[in-house]
Amino acid sequence: MIYTYTLILSLLGFFLSYHIWHTKTNKQQLYCILGKDCNKVIESEHSEHFGTENTVLGMVYYVFVAAASLVAILYPTVLTLSLFTTGFLVITGLAALFSLYLVGVQSFVIKHFCEYCLANTVIVITIFIILLA
C-alpha cells in the first residue's frame, strides 16, 4: 500500500516540476502567493545544479520513484531484495536532503520563496518518510 502512495505523490510531484519547467522555458510569469515573485527563485543562479535545471532533476527523480513504485506494486517479490529497498531508500533520502538544501538557499541566499518549490520539497520528504515507515 505504501508504494501506491509513493506512486501518487511522484505523479503529483512530476506535474508540479513540469509546470515550473514549462513556465520558465516559455518565459512566462510564475505567480506565487507566498513568495509573490517565484521567478526570483526559478531564475536565480541556484536554479541549476550538476549542469541541469533543478526542475529537470526533479522530473527525473519523480520518474524514478514512479517506476520503482510500479515495480514494487506489480512485482512484490522484488521487495525481498535488500538492494531494491535500500537503493530506493537511499535515493529518496538523498533527494530529501537536496530539497532541504534548496529550501536553505531560498531562505538564506535568495531570500525569496517559491511555493511550488516548497510544495515539491514537502512531496520529496513525504515520499522518504513513507519509505522509512
Q: pLDDT at position 43, please?
A: 86
Nearest 5°: the CA angle 57, 46, 122 is 55
Number of domains in the chain: 1
| CA dist list (Å): 97 to 1, 70, 74, 87, 92 | 25, 24, 29, 15, 9
What CATH number has the domain bearing residue 14?
A: 1.20.1440.130
* For residue 35, pLDDT beyond 70: no
- C-beta of residue 34 within 8 angstroms of C-beta of residue 112: no
- C-beta of residue 19 within 8 angstroms of C-beta of residue 88: no
Q: pLDDT at position 85, please?
A: 92
Q: pLDDT at position 61, please?
A: 98
- pLDDT tens sequence across 89-112: 999 999 999 999 999 999 999 998
- pLDDT tens sequence across 49-89: 999 999 999 999 999 999 999 999 999 998 888 999 999 99
Nearest 5°: the CA angle 61, 13, 108 is 85
Q: pLDDT at position 78, please?
A: 87
* For residue 117, pLDDT beyond 90: yes
Range of the domain at 75: 2-132
Q: pLDDT at position 79, please?
A: 84
- Does the pTM of the predicted model rise above 0.75? yes
Q: What distance lies between CA 8 and its chain's CA centroid?
A: 13
Compute the mean pLDDT over every residue in the chain, rounded to the nearest whole number: 93
